[in-house]
Amino acid sequence: MSDDPNALEEQLPPVASSTITYLGPVAPHWDIACTWGEQQVVDDFRTRVNARLLLLPAHDPQFRRNKERVNRDAERERIQLTWDLGDDDE
């Protein structure tokens, strides 16, 4: 048995799933929807995501850094995350 707490977190299943959709160049730019799981967990997550992305369009240079921060937050909270940026590159 490992004493590493991160090893235990990696074995636990997701508690919720969320989809983040880019709505376009006019604010608000993002929709954060709960796909499944506990609604309160996703609502708390949505608040943090909006703080990072609300006025930030997908083509802004700051978006990539903030997207990585959102991904790390989702991993910590065990939320399965799907991004829909509206392009076929992702």
8 part of a folded domain: no
Identify the pLDDT of residue 90. 46
Sequence-distant (≥ 6) Cβ neighbours of residue 37 within 8 angstroms: 14, 15, 16, 17, 79
Render pLDDT for 23-78 as a digit per residue (tens, 0 to 9). Answer: 988 768 899 998 898 888 889 999 999 999 888 888 889 999 999 999 999 999 99
1 part of a folded domain: no
9 part of a folded domain: no
* CA proximity to 86, closest of 18, 17, 20: 20
* pTM for this entry: 0.78
Would you put residue 37 in left (φ > 0), alpha (ψ -120 to 50) or beta?
A: left
37 part of a folded domain: yes
Identify the pLDDT of residue 22. 92
**CA distance linking residue 74 with residue 45, whole number of Å:** 8
Q: Which domain holds residue 79?
A: 15-84
10 part of a folded domain: no
How many structural domains are present in the chain?
A: 1
